[in-house]
Structure 1
Amino acid sequence: MTTAALSTATAVTLIGADGATSSADLGSAPAFTRPAAPLRSRVAFAAAHVIPKPWAENVPGAPADIDWESTLAFRRHVYSWGLGVADAMDTAQRNMGLDAAATRELISRSAADAREVGGSVVAGVNTDHVDEPVIPLDAVIDAYKTQLHFTEDAGAGVVLMASRHLARAAESPADYERVYGEVLAAASTPVVLHWLGPAFDPALDGYFGSADVATAGETVLRIIEAADGRVSGIKMSLLDAAAERSLRARLPEGVRMFTGDDFNYVELIEDDDSGHSDALLGAFAALAPAASAAIQALDRGDSAQYRSVLEPTQQLSRQVFAAPTFYYKTGVAFLSWLNGHQQSFSMVGGLHSARSLAHLSEIVRLAGECGALERPDLAAERWTSLLRLNGVDA
C-alpha cells in the first residue's frame, strides 16, 4: 500500500466578487491509502480532462494541441487509486475545444495506455466529427457507427453519448428509438448510454423526445429493453436525484445506473435499500484519492467512514459545477494544476478563462476544507502566483 504524504498547514489569501480579501488555512493532505486490491462494492469511472501544451496555440477555435505525456500521466494517477477512466467525454471538452482529430488520437492513446498499465477505460462515442449542424437521421446513424467502430477497434469500452445532431433531427421518441436501435445493433460488446441534461449542454434540452423527464425516461427504458442485452448501463447527468432513483429502480436486471450527478453523488452512490448508483463523474477526476478511499470504506462495510470521507467533497463539487454548469471543466483543470498534475493552468480552446478569480478562490477554500489538495504547499504557491499575476496583493 502507498500512503499519501502529509503536508503542513498553509495559509493563503482569498478574494471575493467585490474584491475584498480574506485568509484561509488549506490544512494538510489527508493520509488516504491506495487500494491493495480492486474496488469491489462500486464501479467508479473518473471522467478525465485533457492537458494542453501551455506554449501552444490553444486559443478559441484552434485545433487542440495536447500535452500527451501529462494527459496520460493523469490517467495513470486515476488508475493508481483503483478507479477507471471515462475518456473523450464532455469533461475532455467534447464540443468545447476538443476537435475530431484530437478526439480520435485521445481515444487511441488512452486505450493503448490502459492496456499497458492494466487500467479500465471507456470512451465517448458521438457524431461530432460531422461538421454540418443539421443532418438526417440516416446520417446520424452512420456517424455514430463510424465512431463506434473506431472506439471498439482502439480497444476502449463504449459510452454512447447524447448527440446534438440527433437532438436537432429527431421529431419524436420513435426517432430516438430507431437511431439507438440501429447503432446498438452494430455494437460488438454492451455499451453504456449517456443521458446528458441541458445544464451541461443546452442543445440537448428535450433529449429522448420530451422535456418531461418521466416521459423521456420511458423512451430510455424502451431503448434498453429492445437492445436485448447490448446495454450494460446508463450514465444519468440530469442533476436530479429523484429522477435518477426512479429510473434506476426500473432498469432491467444487469443494467447499471452510473450517476453523473455531481451535485448529489454521495447519497446516490451510498443508497442501499433502493439499490445504489455506480459512478461515472467529472468530479471524481478532481477527487480520485477521496473517491477511492470512500469506496474502500464501503468495501469494508463502513458507511460512516464513507460519508466522513466523501460528504465534505460535495460542496466543492457543487462549486465546480455551479451554473453555467458546462464550464465545470475549468474547475477540474484548475484543481489538476493546483495538485501538480499539469505544468500550467491552461486549457484547449482557452477555456481556462471561463471562470472568475472569485469563483476559483472559493474552489481553493473548499478544496482545502475537504482534503482535495494532494499537496497543499504547492497549491498555496500556485494560487498565490495566480493572484499576484492578477494584481492581487497576496
Structure 2
Amino acid sequence: MTTLTLIDETGTRTGVPLAAASIISKPRHPLTSRAVYAAAHVVPKAWADNLPGAPAEIDWDQTLAFRHHVWSWGLGVADAMDTAQRNMGLDAAATRELISRSAAEAASVGGRLVVGVNTDHVDEEHISLDEVIDAYKEQLHLTEDAGAGVVLMASRHLARAARTADDYRRVYREVLQAAGSPVILHWLGTAFDPSLAGYFGSADIDVASSTLLQVIEYNRERVAGVKMSLLDAGAEIAVRERLPESARMFTGDDFHYVGLIEGDERGHSDALLGAFAALAPHASAAVQALDAGDTARYRDLLGPTEALSQQIFAAPTYYYKTGVAFLSWLNGHQSAFSMVGGLHAARSLPHLSEIVRLANACGALERPELAAARWQSLLTLNGIEPAEVTIEADLAEALA
C-alpha cells in the first residue's frame, strides 16, 4: 500500500493511503448539454531562463500535447487566456505563436478552440481610448486570421483609460463591429487581476453588470456569450437571467461551478474554466452524465472536485496557475514542474500538499503511482523524508 506524505504549515508530516484514480471513460459522442472549455496552461522548456521578466521559452511539444489531452475528453480549449499566464510571463511574441500553433492543432483534429484577445502587446502603460480600440483590433484580426474563435478579454489599458461607462460602451461597440463572427466577452474580477478594479465603469457589481448587459444588448449579433470570473455566484446568476437568448453565460467561477453548470429551472451556465484544465476527465464525465439526464451522477463526479479547485484558486487567486501546472506534472502531462517566469515557486509546499490531499481524495490523480513518486521527489528535494505511518488493516483492505 503506497502512502502519500503530507506536510502542513508547521512542518508536521502525516501520511494518507494513495487512492485509486476515478474510473472514467472518454466520450463516444460530442458533449451536447453544456458547452465546456478548459483554459489551458503553457509548459516552458525546463532548461530555459524561466525568470521573472524573461521572454517565454515554450516547450511546444508538451504544451500542444496537453491541448490534445483536453480535446480527447470532448472539451474545448480556451487558449492564450490568463491560465496561459497572460500578463504574468507570457510575452506578446509567445502569445502570437501560441495562438497560431493551437489553431493549427485544433484544425487538425476538429477540436473546439477559442483564444484570448487583449491589448497587452502594447508596451506603453497608458494609452488613449482610440489606441485601446486599435490594439484590440490588431489582436482580433490576428486571431481570426489564424482560424480561432475569440474571447475578448478585459484590458488593463482600457481600465486605466476609461473614465465612464460610456467609454466602455464605445470601445466594445467599435471593437465588436470589427469582429468577423460572434465573440465571447470576458469580465475578469480583481481576485484574478487587481488592476481591473472598476471594470465596466463602476466598482458596484450591479451597476457594472448593467453596463455589460447594455454592451451585449447593443451588439447582439456580435456577442456569443460572456464569461464571468468574479467568484460571485449570485452576480453571475443575476446577469445570466437577463441575457438575451442569443448569448450564453460561461461560468468562470472556479469556486461554485458545480451548481452553476447544473443550473435550475431558470437556466444554467456553460463553462470556461481554468479548473477544468486540471480536471478534464472529471469535467467530461460529469457533462456526459448530464447528457444522459443523470444529475445524481453529475454531482457525484464533479461535486468532490470543487474543494480541490477552491484550494488551487485560494488567495492570492492569481497564483492559481501554479496549481494547474503542478497537477499537470503530477499527472504526467509535462516532464518538469516548471513555469514561465518562475511562477512554479509562487505556492508553498504546504499549499501544494493540500492540493495533493484533495486530488487524491476525489480521484483526480490520473496516474496515482506516478503522482506519488513525483510528489515525494519534490519533498525529498526540499529535505522532507517520507512520513512513517501504519495503515490500519481494514482501511488498507478497503483501499486495495
- The interval holding the TM-score normalised by the smaller chain is over 0.9
Q: Deviations over 1:123-145 (max 9, x none)?
A: 00000000000000000000000
State the match for 1:271 in structure 2: 263
Q: Is the 8 A contact 2:77 2:114 kept in 1?
A: yes
Is residue 74 of structure 2 the alignment partner of residue 87 of structure 1?
no
Corresponding residue to 1:367 among 359, 365, 368: 359
Q: Per-residue deviation at 1:229?
A: 1.1
The one-letter code matched in structure 2 to 1:332 is V
The one-letter code matched in structure 2 to 1:138 is D
Structure 2: runs of 5 or more not aligned: 387-400
Corresponding residue to 1:352 among 344, 348, 359: 344
What does 1:312-351 correspond to in 2, within 5 Å?
312-351=304-343
State the match for 2:244 in structure 1: 252
State the match for 2:103 in structure 1: 111
What does 1:226-245 correspond to in 2, within 5 Å?
226-245=218-237
Q: Per-residue deviation at 1:228?
A: 3.2
Is residue 157 of structure 2 the alignment partner of residue 150 of structure 1?
no
The one-letter code matched in structure 2 to 1:171 is R
Q: Per-residue deviation at 1:272?
A: 2.4
Q: Deviations over 1:328-377 (max 9, x none)?
A: 00000000000000010000000000000000000000000011110000
Q: Per-residue deviation at 1:10?
A: 3.1
Q: Per-residue deviation at 1:35?
A: 0.2
Corresponding residue to 2:217 among 222, 225, 248: 225
Q: Is the 8 A contact 2:36 2:270 kept in 1?
A: yes
State the match for 1:294 in structure 2: 286
SS in 1 for 2:220: coil
Q: Per-residue deviation at 1:16?
A: 0.3
The one-letter code matched in structure 2 to 1:359 is H
SS in 1 for 2:241: helix
Is residue 52 of structure 2 the alignment partner of residue 53 of structure 1?
no
Q: Is the 8 A contact 1:198 1:205 kept in 2?
A: yes
State the match for 1:5 in structure 2: none
Q: Per-residue deviation at 1:291?
A: 0.2
State the match for 1:36 in structure 2: 28
TM-score (norm 1): 0.97
Q: Per-residue deviation at 1:234?
A: 0.2
TM-score (norm 2): 0.96
State the match for 1:168 in structure 2: 160
Corresponding residue to 2:207 among 192, 206, 215: 215
State the match for 1:138 in structure 2: 130
RMSD: 0.6
The one-letter code matched in structure 2 to 1:286 is A
State the match for 1:122 in structure 2: 114
Distance 1:26 1:232 in 2: 43
Distance 2:16 2:205 in 1: 41
Is residue 19 of structure 2 the alignment partner of residue 19 of structure 1?
no
Q: Is the 8 A contact 2:220 2:246 kept in 1?
A: no
Q: Is the 8 A contact 1:322 1:328 kept in 2?
A: yes
Aligned residues: 386
Is residue 181 of structure 2 the alignment partner of residue 177 of structure 1?
no
Q: Per-residue deviation at 1:30?
A: 1.1
Q: Is the 8 A contact 1:26 1:365 kept in 2?
A: no
Is residue 72 of structure 2 the alignment partner of residue 97 of structure 1?
no
Distance 1:305 1:219 in 2: 38
Corresponding residue to 1:78 among 52, 70, 76: 70
Distance 2:278 2:327 in 1: 6
The one-letter code matched in structure 2 to 1:152 is E
SS in 2 for 1:123: strand
Distance 2:23 2:4 in 1: 22
SS in 1 for 2:369: helix
The one-letter code matched in structure 1 to 2:247 is V
Segments ≥4 residues shifted beyond 3 Å: none
Q: Is the 8 A contact 1:148 1:158 kept in 2?
A: yes
Distance 2:385 2:290 in 1: 44
Q: Deviations over 1:242-277 (max 9, x none)?
A: 000000000011200000000000000001212000
Is residue 378 of structure 2 the alignment partner of residue 390 of structure 1?
no
Q: Per-residue deviation at 1:118?
A: 1.1
Q: Is the 8 A contact 1:10 1:376 kept in 2?
A: no
Distance 1:290 1:225 in 2: 35
Q: Per-residue deviation at 1:209?
A: 0.4
Distance 1:19 1:87 in 2: 37
Q: Per-residue deviation at 1:26?
A: 2.6
SS in 2 for 1:147: helix
Distance 1:76 1:10 in 2: 30
